[in-house]
């Protein structure tokens, strides 16, 4: 086995992120490919957190489908995730605190760790230290190098001194030894290259790309899931010579960045959908005054405040629709973590070359999940194209005109402080010199020509942007279409389909505006059957595709539950579509259990859990899943709950939880 | 301190004439802004005038300087970005009461508490002029306007008091009827290191028939003529800021030297951002990547 996914489940505050990080960094230092996804909630302590870490000998591009190992840090995690562990897998937990109160799948080994016994020699240890014991056990089961893991811990706790390092390494060791003596390893067959690779999130890669490209100004208002860019910039701004400004609101954020861009500094700002909504008027202003600015929009689940800590790709309509009027802009959706660094560099070059706002549309998954990428892709040797800047505007024929009507539409830019380049950049419509034509000098002909000038830049920019390529066999029976961050997971689904004898190919779109309408139309005209795959409820990209090409996809795979796609889930839906199996929006038994958990945690108490689930039809209402509510330990029935199979409505029957 | 070479008014002659109504108070402000830039010795190439939207916000187009005529309410934010990008520039914000004290009041307050080195001239005519006469944030109580036919029921903003409690370090009030006095106040604001507010009574001759030139002329007096008044005394300034009625003070209310935002910004060690080289050296980038391993 050279590809394995494990999960760590617990409550916020259980410290599982550190545990996951140690595991991931250990594997990364050994030269393995690592991909992690933290399905978290936006509270500090208490909510359910579910971290998945996937390791691969070769590049892994999603958190995968098959859970092989679980570290459960609380009872909820055993009940909810232990049944997901597949054959040959293990479930690790602290036997002093937790009980295996639900059946496991066949050939899954429980590893109850006697933490108190194992840690006796260390005196009183904090509850969070149980994680390190479990991690030690997992290290053995995964055939990872103990010394490398100890090195990661030494680096992590270096600032706390040697006793803390020794304690953690010691705890790791007892866990490791305990597993080695009692549990057979899972059978991973690694070959460690020990090539060190950065374990990096999209937000970190955007930040690094920005400073490498010469970003000197970053402004933001705190908003999940974009805040990590602000944090990175604030922590590194001094070293990298960046002014980092937390502002009073997103109106200030974007207008400050535009001001900085106008004054000749590479400026970026970041936000999520709600903050972007506040920025929209100013984005049109940047288009109008032809000021370069880069805006990172990290999507989270909407609408409104929505699900702030969950992922979605549903802000596409918003970024297309941002601001009134027709104005030039470029919208880029980077496709994977390794693409974030070059996309940031490219965005600055495009913004300055074409003097317009460039919107990078990311999402929570891409921005926040860490994965290993090749270190060579992160370099200071990036292209920097500042476009047409004039240093001696008085040298030409006649007066300098800031918005000169040129064949390309690009008017050479004079920065404030430059003699003879004086002008006013106006958000009102203006002429070549920047003189307003909105009031007393209103002039339809000038208006027409300056509108055309601005928009010509976008036509020109399209030539700078590589057209999307069809990946995979040209004669495939089905084409999967995605945009932005779904590149890896769709690619993996294509591989799974191929293994099942289904020839699929793949079109992933990165440049959303301007759009390669001709190239994409040509590709699609040769496709037999097309399925657009998006993380939203209404197929926003499929509609955009139709608007740009006139092409309607045959089918769509949409997901809007806040969780990212998994490759197996895409492959199965593709198979269902190809076989003509009708798709159902009914509540599945697994979903019914989650709905029951929500009901229990909000209305009942911690002593019960969902038990047996059965379908009940025909008592005049919609068919329901009837879920027993049982005593957590004994399994004794305490009541029941019905969940409508079609609507998802909950109907509680009497539950005795005195 | 370097000697200031004062520049004549014509230095800043703009490309077109204003389209304001004849008699508009903003003519006086335009003249005073140009005089002030000249007094402060700011060369046109180093002067950036940033405005929002409204009659008065057309001002940058009438001055020979760099400018941004930005969105309604956003001038202070745009100007903040410009100043942070290039601290060598003198950045003057011009706009109206609706722009600054209504839709833009959030930026106004936060810019003051940051004490960025900006000069903000607010042409306060106590009415929305460009949209033909609705109540503004400084319209007096009970005044009838197109949007308050039964009389305005809201209290007006007190910009001077607001500036005092928000951390502005130079606070003054001018009157369009006395451009020379106003020019001195604005020049003082440009020279001042920190955030300067110059609130200006700039009558709207078309839509405000209450707060007219004669109305102000009867009432205004100069703080400089009050021998007992010191602009160093914040409590006295606050008391003065509430004086309104038969006598209304103009002049310098308050001035204090405090560290500016720019003083505390480490990124300016190598000079203004706009003059720094772009990108990182490979060793720095490698060390940033190493943190992620």
Is B121 among the domain residues? yes
Is A240's CB within 8 Å of B15's CB? no
The residue range of the domain holding B276 is: 21-290
Q: Identify the pLDDT of residue A40.
A: 78
Overall domain count for chain B: 1
What is the rounded CA–CA span in Å between residue B174 and residue A329? 42
Q: Between A126 and A375, whose confidence is greater?
A: A375
CB burial of residue A636 (10 Å; 0-12, 13-18, 19+): exposed
Q: pLDDT-derived band of residue A427, with 50, 70 and 90 as boundaries?
A: very high
- B24 has a chain A CB within 8 A of its CB: no
**pLDDT tens readout for residues A76-127:** 899 999 999 999 999 999 999 999 999 999 999 999 999 999 999 998 888 8
**What is the per-residue pLDDT across A47-71, written as a single tens digit (0 to 9) for each?**
789 999 999 999 999 999 999 999 9
Report residue A44's pLDDT band, with 50, 70 and 90 as the boundaries.
low
Take residue A154 and report the two structure tokens written for it: 């030494």
The answer to whether residue B214 scores a pLDDT higher than 90 is yes
- In this prediction, residue A46 has a pLDDT band, given cuts at 50, 70 and 90, of low
Contact assignment for A267 to B70 by CB distance below 8 Å: no
Whether B10 maps to a domain, the answer reads no
pLDDT band at A399 (very low <50, low <70, confident <90, very high): confident
Q: Please give the backbone phi and psi of residue B173, each rounded to the nearest 5 degrees, phi first.
A: -135, 135
Name the residue with higher pLDDT: A41 or B179.
B179
CATH number of the domain bearing residue B181: 3.40.50.970
pLDDT at A13: 82
Banded model confidence at residue B247, pLDDT cuts 50, 70, 90: very high
Confidence of residue A325 (pLDDT cuts 50, 70, 90): very high
Tell me if B241 is assigned to some domain. Answer: yes
Predicted TM-score of the model (pTM)? 0.97
Q: Which of residues 65-94 of B touch A (CB under 8 A)?
A: 65-71, 73-74, 77-86, 88-89
φ/ψ of B124, rounded to 5, equals -95, 105
Left (φ > 0), alpha (ψ -120 to 50) or beta: where does A306 sit?
A: left
Which chain B residue's Cα is nearest to A386? B278
pLDDT number for residue A45: 56
Select from A256, A389, A403 the residue whose CB has the most chain B CBs within 10 Å, as the one to mutate to test that interface.
Answer: A256
Q: Chain B partners of A259 at a C-beta cutoff of 8 Å?
A: 50, 68, 77-85
> Between chains, do A217 and B84 touch, taking CB under 8 Å as contact?
yes
Beta strands, E only, A287-438 = 293-299, 330-332, 357-363, 370-372, 424-426
Is position B93 within any domain? Answer: yes
The residue of B81, B131, B261, B284 whose CB has the most chain A CBs within 10 angstroms, and thus the best one to mutate to test that interface, is B81
The complex's ipTM works out to: 0.98
What does the alpha-carbon distance between residue A416 and residue A338 come to, in Å, rounded to a whole number? 36
Tell me if B70 and A427 make a contact (CB, 8 A cut-off).
yes
User: How does pLDDT run across B19-48, given as a tens digit for each residue?
Assistant: 999 999 999 999 999 999 999 999 999 999
Residues of A in contact with B16 (CB under 8 A): 435, 441
| pLDDT number for residue A605 | 81
The pLDDT confidence band at residue A43, using thresholds 50, 70 and 90, is low
User: CA–CA separation, A249 vs A228, rounded Å?
Assistant: 17
C-beta neighbour count of A147 within 10 angstroms: 9
For the segment A190-217, the average pLDDT, to the nearest whole number, is 98
Compute the nearest-CA separation of B117 from chain A (Å). Answer: 15
DSSP annotation of B44 reads: G
- Mean pLDDT confidence for B141-158: 97
**B5 part of a folded domain:** no
Domain membership of residue B232 (yes or no) is yes
pLDDT classification of A12: cutoffs 50, 70, 90: confident
For A427, the closest chain B residue by CA position comes to B70
pLDDT tens readout for residues A442-499: 899 999 999 999 999 999 999 999 999 999 999 999 999 999 999 999 999 999 999 9
Residue A658: the pLDDT is 52
Measured distance CA(A42)–CA(A12) in Å, rounded: 9
Minimal Cβ distance to B77: which of A29, A242, A255: A255
**What would the pLDDT profile of B74-109 be if each residue is shown by its tens digit?**
999 999 999 999 999 999 999 999 999 999 999 999
Tell me if B50 sits within 8 A of B70, measured CB to CB.
yes
**Could you report the per-residue pLDDT of A256-303, keeping only the tens digit for each?**
999 999 999 999 999 999 999 999 999 999 999 999 999 999 999 999
pLDDT digits (tens, 9 = 90+) for A517-574: 999 999 999 999 999 999 999 999 999 999 999 999 999 999 999 999 999 999 999 9
Interchain proximity B86–A263, CB inside 8 Å: yes
H helices present in A142-262, as ranges: 146-156, 162-182, 202-212, 227-240, 250-262
Q: What is the mean pLDDT of chain A?
A: 95
Q: How confident is the model at residue A441 (pLDDT cuts 50, 70, 90)?
A: confident
Among B157, B49, B173, smallest CA distance to B104 is for B157
Which pLDDT score, from 0 to 100, does residue A452 have? 98
């Amino acid at each position: 086995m050279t590809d394995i996914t494990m999960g760590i489940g617990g409550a916020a505050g259980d410290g599982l992120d550190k545990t996951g990080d140690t595991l991931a960094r250990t594997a990364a230092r050994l030269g393995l490919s690592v991909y992690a996804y933290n399905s978290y909630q936006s509270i500090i302590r208490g909510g359910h957190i579910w971290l998945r870490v996937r390791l691969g000998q070769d590049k892994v591009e999603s958190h995968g489908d098959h859970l092989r190992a679980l570290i459960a840090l609380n009872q909820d995690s055993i009940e909810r995730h232990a049944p997901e562990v597949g054959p040959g897998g293990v479930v690790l937990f602290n036997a002093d605190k937790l009980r295996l109160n639900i059946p496991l799948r066949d050939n899954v080994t429980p590893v109850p760790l006697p933490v108190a016994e194992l840690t006796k020699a260390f005196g009183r240890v904090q509850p969070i230290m149980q994680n390190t014991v479990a991690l030690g056990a997992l290290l053995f089961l995964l055939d990872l190098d103990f010394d490398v893991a100890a090195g990661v811990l030494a680096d992590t706790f270096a600032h706390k001194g040697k006793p803390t390092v020794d304690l953690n390494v010691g705890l790791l060791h007892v866990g490791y030894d305990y597993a080695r003596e009692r549990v057979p390893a899972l059978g991973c067959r690694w070959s460690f290259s020990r090539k060190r690779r950065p374990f990096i999130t999209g937000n970190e890669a955007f930040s690094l790309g920005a400073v490498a490209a010469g970003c000197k100004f970053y402004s933001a208002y705190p908003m999940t899931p974009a805040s990590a860019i602000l944090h990175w910039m604030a922590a590194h701004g001094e070293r990298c010579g960046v002014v980092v400004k937390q502002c009073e609101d997103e109106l200030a954020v974007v207008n400050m960045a535009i001001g900085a861009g106008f004054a000749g500094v590479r400026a970026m700002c970041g936000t999520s959908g709600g903050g972007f909504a506040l920025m929209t008027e100013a984005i049109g202003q940047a288009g109008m005054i032809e000021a370069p600015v880069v805006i990172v929009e990290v999507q989270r689940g909407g609408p409104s405040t929505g699900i702030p800590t969950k992922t979605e790709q549903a802000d596409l309509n918003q970024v297309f629709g941002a601001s009134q009027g027709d104005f030039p802009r470029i919208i880029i959706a980077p496709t994977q973590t390794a693409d974030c660094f070059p996309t940031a560099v490219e965005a600055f070059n495009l913004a300055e070359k074409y003097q317009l706002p460039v919107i990078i549309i990311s999402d929570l998954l891409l921005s926040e999940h860490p994965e290993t990428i090749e270190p060579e892709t992160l370099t200071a040797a990036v292209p920097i194209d500042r476009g047409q800047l004039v240093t001696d505007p008085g040298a030409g024929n006649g007066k300098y005109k800031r918005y000169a009507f040129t064949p390309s539409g690009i008017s050479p830019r004079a920065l404030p402080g430059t003699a003879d380049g004086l002008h006013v950049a106006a958000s009102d419509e203006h002429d070549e010199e920047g003189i307003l034509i909105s009031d007393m000098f209103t002039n339809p002909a000038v208006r027409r020509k300056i509108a055309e000038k601005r928009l010509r830049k976008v036509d020109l920019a399209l030539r700078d942007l590589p057209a999307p390529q069809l990946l995979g066999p040209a004669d495939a029976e089905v084409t999967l279409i995605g945009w932005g961050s779904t590149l890896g997971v769709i690619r993996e689904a294509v591989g799974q389909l191929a293994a099942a004898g289904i020839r699929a190919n793949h079109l992933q779109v990165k440049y959303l505006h301007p759009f390669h309408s001709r190239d994409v139309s040509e590709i699609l005209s040769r496709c037999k059957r097309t399925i657009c795959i998006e993380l939203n409820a209404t197929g926003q990209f499929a509609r955009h595709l139709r608007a740009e090409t006139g092409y309607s996809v045959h089918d769509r795979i949409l997901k809007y539950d806040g969780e990212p796609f998994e490759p197996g889930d895409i492959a199965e839906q593709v198979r269902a579509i190809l076989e003509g199996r009708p798709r159902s929006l009914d509540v599945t038994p697994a979903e019914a259990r989650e709905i029951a958990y929500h009901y229990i945690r909000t209305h009942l108490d911690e002593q019960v859990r969902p038990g047996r689930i059965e379908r009940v039809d025909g008592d005049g209402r919609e068919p329901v899943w009837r879920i027993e509510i049982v005593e957590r330990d004994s399994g004794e029935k305490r009541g029941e709950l019905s969940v409508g199979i079609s609507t998802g409505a909950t109907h509680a029957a009497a539950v005795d939880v005195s | 301190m370097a000697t200031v070479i004062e520049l004549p008014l014509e230095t800043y002659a703009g490309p077109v004439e204003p389209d304001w109504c004849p008699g508009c108070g903003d003519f006086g402000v335009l003249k005073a802004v140009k005089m002030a830039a000249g007094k402060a010795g700011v060369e046109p190439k180093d002067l950036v005038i940033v405005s929002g939207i409204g009659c008065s916000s057309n001002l940058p187009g009438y001055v020979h300087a760099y400018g941004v005529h930005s969105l309604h309410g956003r001038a202070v934010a745009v100007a903040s970005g410009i100043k942070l990008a290039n601290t060598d520039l003198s950045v003057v914000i011009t706009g109206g009461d609706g722009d600054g004290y209504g839709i833009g009041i959030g930026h106004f307050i936060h810019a003051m508490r940051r004490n960025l080195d900006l000069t903000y001239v607010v042409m306060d005519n106590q009415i929305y002029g460009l949209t033909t006469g609705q109540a503004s944030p400084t319209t007096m109580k009970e005044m009838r306007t197109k949007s308050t036919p039964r009389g305005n029921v809201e209290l007006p903003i007190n910009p001077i008091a607001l500036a005092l409690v928000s951390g502005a370090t130079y606070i003054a009030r001018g009157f369009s009827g006395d451009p020379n006095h106003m020019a001195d106040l604005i020049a003082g604001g440009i020279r001042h290191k920190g955030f300067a507010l110059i609130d200006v009574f700039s009558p709207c001759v078309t839509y405000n028939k209450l707060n007219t030139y004669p109305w102000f002329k009867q009432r205004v007096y100069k703080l400089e003529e009050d021998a007992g008044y010191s602009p160093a005394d914040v409590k006295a300034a606050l008391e003065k800021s509430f004086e309104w009625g038969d006598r209304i003070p103009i002049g310098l209310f308050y001035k204090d030297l405090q560290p500016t935002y720019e003083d505390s910004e480490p990124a300016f060690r190598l000079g203004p951002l706009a003059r720094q080289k772009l990108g990182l050296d490979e060793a720095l980038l490698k060390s940033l990547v190493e943190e992620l391993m």
